[in-house]
Amino acid sequence: MDWMNVAVIVLIVAFLVWRMMPTKGVSNITTIDLRKQLNEKNKQYIDVRTPGEYKSHHIKGFKNIPLQELTTKASQLSKEKEVIVICQSGMRSNKASKLLKKMGFQQVTNVKGGMSTWS
């Protein structure tokens, strides 16, 4: 393998590692942690799955704002309150958390494992 192929592989691996690293300023919690704080009134609970996924099974208190609509509907959320974000596996909620941080939300928390770990 020549040096160019090695460089391309290194760049791809570095990109993948960078994409999976936690976002600065975004907290991560488990569904066990979520259960302990679910009824706190000073927090906003957002489910970024599709309306169909949300309709089939969701956690009471979570508002459905699909990931694709987050940029247009984020104005419905308060930037002063913590936003807790969930999806099916944790991947979309991680993307949503990054997006919310970029939009100026100060306290953003991603639920690791998402609904697939909620029982």
Instruction: Measure the CA–CA gap between 11 and 27, rounded to whole angstroms.
Output: 27
34, 46, 48, 87: the catalytic one is 87
DSSP state of 76: G
**DSSP classification of residue 2:** -
DSSP 25: T
Q: Has 87 been annotated as catalytic?
A: yes
Residues annotated catalytic, as ranges: 87
